[in-house]
Structure 1
Amino acid sequence: MNFATRYRSDMEDVVASFYLPAFSAASVYKRAVGYFSSTSLALYSRGLEEFAERGGSMQLIASPNLNGDDIADIERGYDLRSVIERAALRELTDEQPDTLLDGLGQLGRFIAEGRLDIKLAFVQRDGRVGIYHEKLGIFRDQEGDVVGFTGSSNETLGGLLANFESVEVYPGWHASDGERALRLEADFGMLWTNQTPGLSVEAFPDVARERLIEIGQQRPAAKLEASEYALVPRVAETAPAELQIPTWLAPRDYQKQAVKSWLANRGRGILKMATGTGKTKTAMIAATQLSQVLRKREEPLVVLIIAPLQHLVDQWISEVEDFGVRPIAVYESSATWLPLVEEQLAAARLGRRPVVALVATNSSFSGERFQSILQRMTLPLLVIADEAHNLGSAAYRNSLPDNAPYRLALSATPERWFDEEGTDALIDYFGEVVFELNMERAIEMGALTRYRYRPQLVELDYAETQFYVDLTAQIATRMAMGSDPEKPDSDATLGYLLRQRAGILGHAAGKLEAVRRDVASRRDAHFQLVYCAEGSRPAPRGEEPGPNQLRDVLRLVGRDLGLAAHQYTSETPRADRKALMRRFATGTDLQALVAMRCLDEGVDIPDARIGYLLASSSNPRQFIQRRGRLLRLAEGKQYAEIVDYVAVPPSDAPVEFEVERRLLIRELERTNEFARLSENYGDTLATLRPLKERYQLMDM
């Protein structure tokens, strides 16, 4: 026979091109594989009749086909032989297509006639069972010629039909290949006699042997025709999913560089990339590259993605599915996700699943049940932290697993505001920033859309001014006592006063009229976002809080101006959020979303074109995230527009000048950050000039 040196699934049917011709001439078949199922040898039934007529004999060594329950029982100390017996019997049920049962019946007759012997091999170390993963085989004919082969095929339907497989062949009559073939045969002999260090090779369970013989007695001994091979259902087993970059995705140069830098840093580091530049896809490209490296070593990869909120988990699930793997969502009841996690991890330990993907909320990740899984993790683990700055808090950073060799943090602003300790903890765990793409560079290269920025100064009314002046005086007193407004948490009273002051500015009544004018001028436009101040308008002690800005804006936009609008808050159910996003993205249905405490971190709404900021905290993370929501690229989107309502006291208000000046600096830092990258920086400077002159801040 003129065998090729290699058979690959892209070129031919490996079973038809190699295995069956070899069976037609061989008298001895010896095979050692990773694991097998009842469907495997049944596929060879086309060629086994001739093999049997020549008195052919077979020896097979394979790992038992263990599932998650089997592994758990073994690790709890159950009798190993009993568990293996159970696993073998599970493969020999009557719930198989007739074609496969006929093939199994033929194998049963082989066993009864003494022509087939099976042994099971496994690694057992420190109370744990591992898969025997070697794959080699030997054919011999009656003349003594030998053919050795190695390859990726397992003796399963998936391994022989569904997967992409290759086999390297070494005919013994070729001088260069004969030595390899004989060495493979010697290795098999060591296995068969249980002389291979680190492996345990046991006889096939008697009850399973008897079951195969019973099937042989029950099934007819008719010869199976080649055409019946096609009747084998190819969906009985499917290839385990692997991470693959989608064919429709063309990674950008900066994404490639980010992944390269992370891999060069041994799979650790922080990607500091502007909101909207594709951090999620960059992380998935990195995970895919890592999994392919490990796959070559026949090592699995567990990818753990941690996101702060459930709707971000849902977005990540869609992203991971685009890369070819269906992840497990780890949130809400552990009864839903825990069995799936345990089952997939067990399959990965046995080499049956190359990738396990888990997407968890911060709270579920840090919970006792999931932490227990992480503590027992022995597989290669990649931790991807979305909006990683959140994990720097004392509540979460101690939950990050020390046994994760690969770590990737994603954030446009990884530095924690007024929390150097938390920032340092993130860097200690994930590593330094290995790639940075700021917003200015992202806009220049076209990764984000250009935008126009229009701040509007809104004066406080009389009542707001009186309350504001009183709060500013109290703040001045606390500062004179040594309290620092840059560290409000160090003084609870000062922190409260600053929040009240910010509340007055955020809920300023004059903003509603300004919003009315601006939205009315865009009454026919779609893709509009309105960010409202949180809670209700603050009031002096003893008085009832003022109205809720979100309700007022929704009434103004929806009822008074007649736009199709809907609120979007942290209380909006997940299913409703998805529906709102779909409606908003059509450009024909929902014109505006009115948001409070939402639409900040990670929410993907690339179609948004106009944003009205009625309130933003001085925390740079929030306003950077909000700007990023509006700068994502979308079809037909040429630029974005940001309208920023800045509330100020009247010019004649008797405020403490130095205190007001110091606090105003923080507000102007935000407006300057928005303005400097805009298309109309000059207009912004003209608008803010009177305010800067009043407080002697022209040098900003």
Structure 2
Amino acid sequence: MTDGARGLRALVLRDRYRSDQGDVVAEFFVPSFTVASSYSRAVGYFTSTSMALYARGLEVFAQRGGVMRLIASPHLTEDDIVDIARGYDMRAVLERATLRELDVEQPDRVLDGLGVLGRLIAEGRLDVKLAFVQQAGRVGIYHEKIGVFRDGFGDLVGFTGSSNETGGGLMANFESVEVFRGWVPGDGVRALRLEDEFEALWENRTKNLSVERFPDVARERLVRLGSERPGRALPGVDDALTAVEVPVRDPGHAGVEVRVPARLAIPDTLTVRDYQKDAVTAWLGGGGRGILEMATGTGKTKTAMIAAAKLGEVLARHEQPLVVVIVAPLIHLVDQWLPEVEPFGVRPVAVYGANKKWPQQVDDQLTAVRMGRRPVMVVVATNDSFSGERFQSVLARITQPVLVIADEAHNLGSPAYRAALPQNGTYRLGLSATPERWFDDEGTDALIDYFGPVVFKLGLGEAIEMGALTRYRYVPRLVELTAQETGLYVDLSAQIARLIGSGNELKDADPQSPLGFLLRQRAGVLGHAAGKVAALRADLEARRDEWFQLIYCAEGHRPAERGEEPGPRQVDEVMHLVGHELRLTAHTYVSTTAPVERKTLLRRFGSGDDLRALVAMRCLDEGVDIPDARVGYLLASSSNPRQFVQRRGRLLRRAPGKERAEIFDYLAVPPADAPVNFTVERALLVRELERATEFAELSENYETTLQVLRPLKERYGLMHL
């Protein structure tokens, strides 16, 4: 033992314990329990009497926040084995065997020991699995005996030997245990090998063995016993905030490879901007709850990870772990989060349908968190997987501090998603450039109730001024509807006017209501206006030698008269124009584009020598990181502020060699003499002109833009916008 040694290293441990030389329980097991933070044990049999022998050690272990994993062989009778051979449900047989053991009448000292066991299970500090040999249709006993103690300082002790966790095995029989101390040259490799073998067992990766969860009925029996027997309440888990175990060479251990815990930390290569510091300070000042309303492209992802790292530092001082749950709308956004998280010291688990291994990965990491071996873990889930029953059941079992980070948090305001937000989320961080939900005050209020208020705001103008986003030119193009389009438009406007006249409110229109349907139809006529493609041709021809161009098309097909077939999709018309007529290299990027192909397209687009343009429909909005994009053409007609803010944000991200961006906005309007209801038309136009005005005000060519929009504003008396 060296001066200042702590934990397991402070114990005077021999390399071997044998019954003819002393008491194995008193001299090895009990002292190890008094300093260890985790205990992993694989044994032949586990019976209720063994707990009495460990009562003193386990009480101290529990009071210190110790966490235990146990793999045992169920005590199967001949009848059990015959039933298994006959095809009886394995889980039912295991349940019967464990309950049979617990139903044996026991003295108080054994019941007290079981009470400690039950309280450990209730607190999530003990997990039990049952192992048995299953090979060629035959069932056998798992008879291996290995174990690992770990402490809060990164040291471990591995051991193997002949003792079973039974009264006879520990007291009556002649036993021996070989001990391998992780800090002793020559022992470290053996100790780590035993730990790796246990992990393989726990994860059911050992050939010819089956490892099953402890039956729920038996688990509940123990938990109930734990609440009935006298005993102290278990304190918080005694963990240090470390992120991952990084293999390194310890120069003092003659080449022995040991594992040194690394903290969740801000990478040395990351320059934290002043506004990011202000955002994190504001969030922490709000008790670790609140929304960051930051313009698209200003680094919300990194800001969130900085906040998580700083929170981790605070929890580390209180020796508490942290589970970080990041929720993002779509798979490609989850994929973008993963490489952003890893530089902070954690390898996250991706939770979505394509990753079939995530349930096991999450379960194993949560167990490691409870055991103190992985005090920080991160999962990144899509909204759909996050709200699914399987992941919700995982969230409900977490008792450690949880940080919920919601990317594009506004999406979680829908009834289905907000019902899935975990109430055990100790800390909550919402990220959005536009946290208010469009036409959904109830959903917006629900988000604020859960995450807290907006604690930091960084607007677009401020972000451009400080250099976080690039400058841009805004070029609106007014396109007049054709005669056929005007007919459709006038008819829709008349129907909208009638609904508004009967008491419907335009500003509160439910998207699923009859009024909402008509408004979508109207937007479809404007978005698919034929004149937009002609105007786009002229702008593209003038920039045919430029790279990094994005074209946003209207959704669906061109509207048609009632009873007629819908017209072509605008995205197809644009691709024909770009690829066949102008012969520019381009590719579509739509909802049906496979995730693997999306990554390839973004890489080709960013190379600057392959694809000149991406033609998008319902994509390239939220979160997609394409900083090289320099020219954007907005054909879709939408007054939804979120959509145009997101699309503008795609173009304003900074990139090497990028001095400014250009945004072309194609606004379709009916002819001046169209017979529309002036009052309704003016009310509808307000929202679209507000969008154009906001784009214009922050552009470099504001005065020029005003001149283009002036005739339309004058026609409808909207010069105040």
Tell me if both proteins adopt one fold, taking TM over 0.5 as the criterion: yes
1:212-251 CA-to-partner distances (Å, cap 9, x unmatched) read: 3599xxxxx9xx9xx99856541xx534553221111010
Report the equivalent of 2:266. Answer: 245
Aligned-pair CA distance for 1:567: 0.6
Q: Retained in 2: the 8 A contact 1:31–1:61? A: no
Q: Retained in 1: the 8 A contact 2:554–2:637? A: yes
From 61, 71, 89, the counterpart of 2:32: 61
Mapped partners of 1:204, 1:292: distance in 2 = 44
Report the equivalent of 1:519. Answer: 540
3-state SS in 1 of match to 2:398: coil
Mapped partners of 1:396, 1:244: distance in 2 = 31
Report the equivalent of 2:91. Answer: none
3-state SS in 1 of match to 2:623: coil
Mapped partners of 1:241, 1:207: distance in 2 = 44
1:385-410 CA-to-partner distances (Å, cap 9, x unmatched) read: 11111111111111111111100000
Mapped partners of 2:255, 2:642: distance in 1 = 57
Report the equivalent of 2:399. Answer: 378
Aligned-pair CA distance for 1:208: 12
The amino acid across from 2:153 in the alignment is S
3-state SS in 2 of match to 1:697: coil
Report whether the alignment pairs 1:638 with 2:659: yes
The amino acid across from 2:486 in the alignment is T
Q: Retained in 2: the 8 A contact 1:298–1:351? A: no
Aligned-pair CA distance for 1:434: 0.8
Report whether the alignment pairs 1:212 with 2:177: yes
Aligned-pair CA distance for 1:129: 6.8
3-state SS in 2 of match to 1:379: coil
3-state SS in 1 of match to 2:357: helix
Report the equivalent of 1:259. Answer: 280
Report the equivalent of 2:111. Answer: none
1:44-98 CA-to-partner distances (Å, cap 9, x unmatched) read: 9xxxxxxxxxxxx98951449656999xx99x99986999896699xxxxxxxxx
Report the equivalent of 2:530. Answer: 509
The amino acid across from 2:546 in the alignment is A
Rate the CA distance shift 1:696–1:85 in 2: closer, same or farther, 3 A.
closer
Rate the CA distance shift 1:129–1:675 in 2: closer, same or farther, 3 A.
closer
From 582, 597, 617, the counterpart of 1:576: 597
Mapped partners of 1:297, 1:124: distance in 2 = 26
1:347-366 CA-to-partner distances (Å, cap 9, x unmatched) read: 10111112110111111111
Mapped partners of 1:676, 1:249: distance in 2 = 33
From 542, 550, 562, the counterpart of 2:571: 550
Report the equivalent of 2:556. Answer: 535
Report the equivalent of 1:426. Answer: 447
Report whether the alignment pairs 1:561 with 2:582: yes
Mapped partners of 1:553, 1:630: distance in 2 = 20
Query: How many residue pairs get matched?
Result: 560
Q: Retained in 2: the 8 A contact 1:131–1:351? A: no
Aligned-pair CA distance for 1:631: 0.6
The amino acid across from 2:493 in the alignment is T
Q: Retained in 2: the 8 A contact 1:452–1:640? A: yes
Aligned-pair CA distance for 1:30: 3.0
Report whether the alignment pairs 1:125 with 2:106: no
1:87-120 CA-to-partner distances (Å, cap 9, x unmatched) read: 699xxxxxxxxxxxxxxxxxxxxxxxxxxxxxxx
Report the equivalent of 1:108. Answer: none
Report the equivalent of 1:30. Answer: 11
The amino acid across from 2:460 in the alignment is M
Q: Retained in 2: the 8 A contact 1:303–1:356? A: yes
How big is the alpha-carbon RMSD for the aligned residues of Structure 1 and Structure 2?
4.0
Mapped partners of 2:173, 2:352: distance in 1 = 41
- Equivalence map 1:80-229=2 (5 Å): 125=119, 127-128=121-122, 153-156=153-156, 210=175, 212=177
Rate the CA distance shift 1:457–1:265 in 2: closer, same or farther, 3 A.
same
Aligned-pair CA distance for 1:482: 2.1
The amino acid across from 2:294 in the alignment is M
The amino acid across from 2:121 in the alignment is G
Mapped partners of 1:273, 1:365: distance in 2 = 24
Structure 2 unaligned blocks of 5 or more: 17-26, 55-66, 74-115, 127-150, 159-166, 181-185, 190-249
Aligned-pair CA distance for 1:130: 7.1
1:252-305 CA-to-partner distances (Å, cap 9, x unmatched) read: 000001101111111111111111111110000000111122123221100000
Report the equivalent of 2:303. Answer: 282
Mapped partners of 1:413, 1:153: distance in 2 = 44
Structure 1 unaligned blocks of 5 or more: 8-13, 20-28, 33-40, 45-56, 90-121, 133-150, 159-201, 216-220
Q: Retained in 2: the 8 A contact 1:531–1:613? A: yes
From 588, 603, 611, the counterpart of 2:609: 588
Mapped partners of 2:41, 2:446: distance in 1 = 36
1:15-37 CA-to-partner distances (Å, cap 9, x unmatched) read: 9xxx8xxxxxxxxx7359xxxxx
Aligned-pair CA distance for 1:691: 1.1
Report whether the alignment pairs 1:500 with 2:521: yes
Q: Retained in 1: the 8 A contact 2:41–2:69? A: no
3-state SS in 2 of match to 1:125: helix
Report whether the alignment pairs 1:659 with 2:624: no
Percent identity at matched positions? 58
Report the equivalent of 1:409. Answer: 430
From 678, 687, 690, the counterpart of 2:708: 687
Mapped partners of 1:405, 1:418: distance in 2 = 30
Report whether the alignment pairs 1:268 with 2:262: no
Q: Retained in 1: the 8 A contact 2:630–2:661? A: yes
The amino acid across from 2:288 in the alignment is G
Aligned-pair CA distance for 1:506: 0.2
The amino acid across from 1:699 in the alignment is H
Aligned-pair CA distance for 1:563: 1.5
Report whether the alignment pairs 1:296 with 2:317: yes
From 449, 474, 479, the counterpart of 1:458: 479
Q: Retained in 2: the 8 A contact 1:67–1:346? A: no
Mapped partners of 1:88, 1:231: distance in 2 = 35
Mapped partners of 2:169, 2:445: distance in 1 = 56
Report whether the alignment pairs 1:481 with 2:507: no
TM-score using structure 2 length: 0.71
Report the equivalent of 1:182. Answer: none
Report the equivalent of 2:689. Answer: 668
Aligned-pair CA distance for 1:483: 2.0
Mapped partners of 1:155, 1:616: distance in 2 = 62
Aligned-pair CA distance for 1:655: 2.1
The amino acid across from 1:153 in the alignment is F
Report the equivalent of 2:622. Answer: 601
Report whether the alignment pairs 1:326 with 2:307: no
3-state SS in 2 of match to 1:304: strand
Report the equivalent of 1:471. Answer: 492
Q: Retained in 2: the 8 A contact 1:329–1:337? A: yes
3-state SS in 1 of match to 2:325: strand
3-state SS in 2 of match to 1:538: coil
Rate the CA distance shift 1:609–1:88 in 2: closer, same or farther, 3 A.
same
From 395, 412, 420, the counterpart of 1:391: 412
1:435-462 CA-to-partner distances (Å, cap 9, x unmatched) read: 1111111111111111110000011111
1:571-600 CA-to-partner distances (Å, cap 9, x unmatched) read: 111111111111111111111110000111
3-state SS in 2 of match to 1:663: helix
3-state SS in 2 of match to 1:515: helix
Q: Retained in 1: the 8 A contact 2:154–2:259? A: no
My pick for the range that moved more, 205-214 or 517-526, is: 205-214
